């Protein structure tokens, strides 16, 4: 095994891989980025195409070790990419996919053409996309979609980029082989997998990989809300799926249960509550690990209570930051996670208001597991009309 340090989708990643391990296996099996598809595994079909240092490459025939130090972008890393968003909309509009198996690789290759080709030349697009095979569509819709995006961008005055990030000739990733052999001579320690803090242990600060900001309002004064926030058990009972075994604010222990279809996860861990002297702001920081799915998370919730309506109501501003690794990280597509978080916060706000009004919690609410599938379905229900209208991206 060799230690491997990469940047994948703008996140530094350290892992260990055999010299023969392909980049596709690393992103799919080690990082759970399964949007990179494997078709032929011979460098023919293009389903596994990713960007290495900004240039498309077949990850099935690229040794991970040859990418030491490289910037790798998979289809998941293009969620917020402007060109990829335009291509997704165009693929939807032009019916450029059927089963979708080839689509991640198609989008990565098409994005490179959109960057490089000076105009929407059909022949140049067919040649440029000839390394990506599709068994379903007959290519007409795909070519039309790519042409339309190039034409629209050039009409908006966005010029083609010569080379589009290419700085050298030769196989992509080849510039990093020397670094790989140096690493083998003086092995870099492989970062330990994210571990759940144990009870009594110091909960270290960390830099979250994802940060989500949300807010909600409750019809109660800030002091009342602040007082409730000092009651760890009461706050936990408002969070779906959370079960506490200790509500000592200095050393909270418990677990959060999540069920997404067949995947049931039970993150056991610890947390700590910190509050400002006036009680109007604070944070909860903690981490947990689920042995079954081999997933781990570290997270923090920062809150700020702002008076509204002359002090009769409160705006609760939340900044939620987390890092998730392991199997469950594959549901971490930023758009969906943001929608899920919004629905979770809505549920938390409703439970908090009920508690502040002295109303009883819904029966079994505290112990109920977080039904990720129900939340996902509600997210999909909300997004479906936009997808069908071709105005959104997933």
Check residue 267 for interaction with ligand FES (CB under 6 A).
Answer: no
Measured from the CB atom, the residue of 134 and 234 that comes closer to ligand FES is: 134
CB of 390 to ligand FES, least distance (A): 17
Interface pattern 114-143 for ligand FES (x via CB under 6 A):
--------------------xxxx------
Neighbouring CB atoms inside 10 A of 6's CB total 23
Measured from the CB atom, the residue of 146 and 328 that comes closer to ligand FES is: 146
- Residue 158 structure tokens: 């966005």
Measured from the CB atom, the residue of 230 and 394 that comes closer to ligand FES is: 394
Q: CA of 293: how far to CAs of 163, 186, 267, 276, 327, in Å? A: 42, 33, 10, 36, 6
Check residue 28 for interaction with ligand FES (CB under 6 A).
Answer: no
What is the rounded (10 degree) CA torsion for 127, 128, 129, 132?
100
Q: Which stretch binds ligand FES (CB under 6 A): 5-13, 98-106, 208-216, 385-393?
A: 98-106
Neighbouring CB atoms inside 10 A of 386's CB total 12
Options 99, 151, 382, 388; binder of ligand FES; rule CB under 6 A: 99
Measured from the CB atom, the residue of 139 and 206 that comes closer to ligand FES is: 139
**Scanning residues 339 to 368, which ones bind ligand FES (CB under 6 A)?**
none
Measured from the CB atom, the residue of 70 and 328 that comes closer to ligand FES is: 70
Neighbouring CB atoms inside 10 A of 381's CB total 9
Measured from the CB atom, the residue of 96 and 280 that comes closer to ligand FES is: 96
Q: Tell me the HSE value of 246 on the side-chain side, using a 13 A CA sphere.
A: 15
Measured from the CB atom, the residue of 138 and 311 that comes closer to ligand FES is: 138
Measured from the CB atom, the residue of 47 and 232 that comes closer to ligand FES is: 47
In degrees and rounded to multiples of 5, residue 50 shows phi and psi of -130, 175
Interface pattern 57-96 for ligand FES (x via CB under 6 A):
-x-x------------------------------------
CB of 103 to ligand FES, least distance (A): 6
Q: Which residues contact 306 (CB under 8 A, 6 or more apart)?
A: 222, 314, 315, 316, 317
Q: How far apart are CA 139 and CA 53, in angstroms?
A: 28
CB of 25 to ligand FES, least distance (A): 11
Number of residues that bind ligand FES (CB under 6 A): 22
Q: How far apart are CA 325 and CA 299, in angstroms?
A: 12
Options 13, 16, 38, 194; binder of ligand FES; rule CB under 6 A: 38
CB of 88 to ligand FES, least distance (A): 14
Check residue 41 for interaction with ligand FES (CB under 6 A).
Answer: yes
Q: Is residue 71 within 8 Å of residue 53, measured between CB atoms?
A: yes
Options 102, 125, 242, 273; binder of ligand FES; rule CB under 6 A: 102
Q: Is residue 310 within 8 Å of residue 289, measured between CB atoms?
A: no
CB of 226 to ligand FES, least distance (A): 54
Q: Give the per-residue SS3 of 114-128.
A: HHHCCCCCHHHHHHH
Q: How far apart are CA 14 and CA 289, in angstroms?
A: 19
Check residue 47 for interaction with ligand FES (CB under 6 A).
Answer: yes
Q: How far apart are CA 173 and CA 311, in angstroms?
A: 59
Measured from the CB atom, the residue of 58 and 153 that comes closer to ligand FES is: 58
Measured from the CB atom, the residue of 3 and 57 that comes closer to ligand FES is: 57
Q: Which residues contact 167 (CB under 8 A, 6 or more apart)?
A: none
What is the rounded (10 degree) CA torsion for 197, 212, 326, 237?
60
Check residue 303 for interaction with ligand FES (CB under 6 A).
Answer: no
Check residue 171 for interaction with ligand FES (CB under 6 A).
Answer: no
Binding site for ligand FES (CB under 6 A): 38-41, 43-48, 58, 60, 97-102, 134-137
């Amino acid at each position: 095994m060799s230690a491997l340090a990469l940047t994948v989708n703008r996140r530094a990643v350290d892992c260990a891989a055999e010299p023969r391990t392909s980049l596709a296996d690393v992103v799919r099996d080690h990082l759970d980025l399964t949007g990179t598809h494997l078709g032929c595994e011979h460098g023919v079909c293009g389903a596994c195409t990713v960007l290495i240092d900004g240039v498309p490459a077949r990850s099935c025939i690229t040794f991970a070790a040859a990418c030491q130090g490289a910037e790798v972008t998979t289809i998941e890393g293009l969620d917020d990419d402007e060109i990829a968003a335009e291509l997704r909309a165009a693929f939807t509009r032009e019916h450029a996919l059927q089963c979708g198996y080839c689509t991640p690789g198609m989008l990565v290759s098409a994005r490179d053409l959109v960057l490089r080709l000076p105009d929407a030349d059909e022949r140049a697009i067919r040649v440029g996309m000839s390394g990506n095979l599709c068994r379903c569509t007959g290519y007409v819709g795909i070519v039309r979609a790519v042409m339309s995006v190039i034409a629209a961008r050039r009409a908006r005055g966005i010029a083609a980029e010569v080379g589009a990030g290419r700085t050298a000739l030769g196989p992509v990733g080849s510039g990093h082989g020397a670094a790989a052999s140096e690493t083998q001579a003086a092995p870099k320690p492989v970062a330990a997998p994210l571990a759940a803090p144990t009870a009594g242990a110091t909960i270290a600060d960390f830099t979250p990989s994802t940060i989500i900001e949300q807010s909600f309002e409750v019809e109660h004064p800030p002091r009342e809300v602040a007082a409730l926030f000092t009651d760890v058990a009461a706050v936990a009972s408002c969070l779906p799926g959370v079960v506490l075994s200790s509500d000592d604010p200095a050393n909270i222990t418990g677990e959060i249960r999540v069920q997404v279809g067949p995947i049931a996860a039970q993150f056991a861990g610890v947390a700590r509550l910190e509050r400002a002297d006036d009680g109007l702001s604070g944070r909860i920081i903690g981490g947990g690990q689920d042995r079954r799915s081999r997933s781990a998370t570290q997270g923090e919730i920062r809150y700020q209570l702002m008076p509204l309506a002359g002090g009769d109501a409160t705006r609760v501003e939340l900044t939620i930051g987390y890092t998730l690794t392991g199997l469950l990280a594959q549901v971490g597509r930023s758009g969906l996670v943001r929608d899920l978080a919004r629905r979770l916060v809505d549920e938390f706000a409703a439970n908090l208001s009920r508690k502040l009004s002295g109303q009883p919690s819904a029966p079994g609410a505290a112990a109920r597991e977080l039904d990720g599938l129900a939340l996902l379905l509600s997210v999909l229900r909300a997004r479906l009309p936009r997808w069908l209208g071709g105005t959104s991206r997933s």
